[in-house]
Amino acid sequence: MYTVSDVIQALDLTKTFGKHTAVDHISFSVREGEIFGFLGPNGAGKTTTTRMLTGVIPPNEGTALVLGFDICRSPVLAKQGFGVVPETSNAYTDLTAWQNLMLMGDLYGIPRGRSVDRASELLRVLGLLERKDQKVQAYSKGMKQRLILAMALLHEPGLLFLDEPTSGLDVQSTQMILSLLRDLNQAGTTIFLTTHNMEEANRLCHRVGIIRAGKIVALDAPEKLKVAIDRVHRLEVSFDREVPADALAGLDGVLSANRTGDKWQITAENRDAAIRSLVTFSREHNATIVTLNTLAPSLDDAFLRLTREDHP
């Protein structure tokens, strides 16, 4: 089931809080060199899973191998090899950004000269170099988040965990963080990222796992998830004149036809057959097709369906 190149192997990972099972026997693996997205609605168990994987809280059952180390038995060894951007800030607000970074360097036993070089470079890339001697309490949310990312990267980890790193940030901070993540990944860093932002997951992640009520309900490449979940194709068509709704809904290949404004929303099992039928239909009714759009399935759709309360 697992290979040597898996950098994270979650094995039956389970966490209960009182009677509530927040994470329910989940097993999955993250391959070396990939950006793995962990998606789920509020309260699904993303943070709890991340905290177990990073050795912050112990699981009630199961365990995880992280970089080959059992996170329950050898947390210190595992932690040497990964960096974490947690859900809530771990920076000391009464210290400056620079002091926070130097403290982080000392924690990881990095020689001071190396810490200085590395911190300067990260602050530069993240646009914080000029503000490095300011106390973190004066930082904006986006600046703070960029600093936390710099802190997570100081010891040059081969694996990076991020819990909703761009949540609530503006476009500029978001882009700065995402572009750094892409560069890091291209240089070989494996990334485990929880997010609510489907567009972000779609563009960034090689594979995504979807968690709902503590259980993984889907795990695949974004494109494959979209196709698997959305077998029904959607088309949008408009004509230059009134056409009978019944006839439209009864066309070969068409499942349903609903009117919204001056357009018809069509669902079809076979897109090609539906388009051919629509062309014939317009000719028969002396109508001209003004617009015809095929709507690609989105990760949003897949996510909403998979995390619906009544989903099996």
Answer yes or no: are the C-beta atoms of 55 and 79 closer than 8 Å: yes
Closest CA to 150 of 168, 125, 113, 172: 125
Residues 47-106 that bind ligand ATP (CB under 6 A): 47-48
Q: Pick from Mg ion, ligand ATP, none: which does 131 bind, CB < 5 to 8 A by kind?
A: none
Task: Return the amino acid letter for 61.
Answer: E
- Cα separation, 27 vs 13, whole angstroms: 6
- Cα separation, 250 vs 92, whole angstroms: 65
The residue among 14 and 47 lying less far from Mg ion, judged by its C-beta, is 47
- For ligand ATP, which stretch binds (CB under 6 A), given 37-45, 116-124, 225-233, 242-250? 37-45
| Contact pick of 37, 40, 253, 297 for ligand ATP (by CB under 6 A) | 40
List Cβ<8 Å contacts ≥24 apart for 247-251.
247/281, 247/285, 248/281, 251/277, 251/278, 251/281
47 binds Mg ion (CB under 5 A): yes
The residue among 46 and 233 lying less far from Mg ion, judged by its C-beta, is 46
Q: Pick from Mg ion, ligand ATP, none: which does 22 bind, CB < 5 to 8 A by kind?
A: ligand ATP
To ligand ATP, the closest distance from the beta carbon of 277 in angstroms equals 43
Closest CA to 180 of 208, 152, 141, 220: 152
Q: Pick from Mg ion, ligand ATP, none: which does 32 bind, CB < 5 to 8 A by kind?
A: none
CA distances from 20 to 43, 164, 229 (A): 11, 23, 29
To ligand ATP, the closest distance from the beta carbon of 61 in angstroms equals 15
- Cα separation, 107 vs 190, whole angstroms: 22
44 binds ligand ATP (CB under 6 A): yes
166 binds Mg ion (CB under 5 A): no
- Cα separation, 124 vs 130, whole angstroms: 8
229 HSE (CA, 13 A, CB side) = 25
To Mg ion, the closest distance from the beta carbon of 39 in angstroms equals 11
- Cα separation, 284 vs 277, whole angstroms: 10
46 binds ligand ATP (CB under 6 A): yes
132 binds ligand ATP (CB under 6 A): no
Task: Kindly write out the interface string for residues 169-188 of this chain, putting x where it contacts ligand ATP by CB under 6 A and - elsewhere.
Answer: --------------------
145 binds ligand ATP (CB under 6 A): no
Q: Pick from ligand ATP, Mg ion, none: which does 186 bind, CB < 5 to 8 A by kind?
A: none
Answer yes or no: are the C-beta atoms of 40 and 215 closer than 8 Å: no
Task: Return the amino acid letter for 201.
Answer: A
- For ligand ATP, which stretch binds (CB under 6 A), given 44-52, 100-108, 264-272, 281-289? 44-52
Binding site for Mg ion (CB under 5 A): 46-47, 87
Binding site for ligand ATP (CB under 6 A): 17, 22, 40, 42-48
